[in-house]
């Protein structure tokens, strides 16, 4: 209920800010007109999309930039191998001493 009251308050404030004076008897008629206008513009928009453009797009004013130059320095060499090998695995334990 509080949400509905908040929405009504917000709608009222927006109506005051934008200066809407809505007559309840005309509200349905205006919404119907708006709906029909939207419907008409949608159909016009779809029809316009299907008509091909007779004019080709103009060529680009500036050519694309050249590719970047190659790197000045070669990539670093791979890291050297480890100086000491890894330690050997520990010897197996005696079964009775866990």
Question: Does residue 88 or residue 14 have the better pLDDT?
Answer: 88
Element containing residue 79 per DSSP (H, E): none
- Average pLDDT in the 83-95 region? 82
Residue 19 pLDDT greater than 80, yes or no? no
Residue with tokens 């000491």: 84
What are the pLDDT digits (tens) for 29-75?
666 666 666 655 555 555 555 667 778 777 777 888 888 887 778 88
Q: Say if CB 57 and CB 50 are below 8 A apart.
A: no
Q: In percent, how much of the chain has pLDDT > 70?
A: 61
Residues 16/24/4/33 CA torsion (nearest 10 deg): -90
Q: Say if CB 22 and CB 15 are below 8 A apart.
A: yes
**Spatial separation of the C-alpha atoms in residues 81 and 20, rounded to whole Å:** 79
Alpha helix positions (H), the chain: 2-18, 24-50
Residue 84 pLDDT greater than 60, yes or no? yes
**Spatial separation of the C-alpha atoms in residues 12 and 20, rounded to whole Å:** 9
């Amino acid at each position: 209920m509080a949400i509905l009251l908040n929405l009504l308050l917000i709608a009222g404030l927006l109506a005051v800010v934008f200066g809407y004076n809505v007559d309840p008897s005309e509200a349905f008629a205006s919404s119907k007109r708006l709906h029909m206008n939207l419907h008409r513009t949608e159909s016009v928009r779809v029809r316009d999309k299907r008509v091909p453009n007779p004019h080709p797009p103009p060529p680009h004013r500036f050519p694309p930039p050249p590719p970047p130059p190659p790197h000045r320095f070669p990539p670093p060499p791979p890291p050297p191998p480890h100086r000491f090998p890894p330690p050997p695995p520990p010897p197996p334990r005696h079964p009775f001493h866990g």
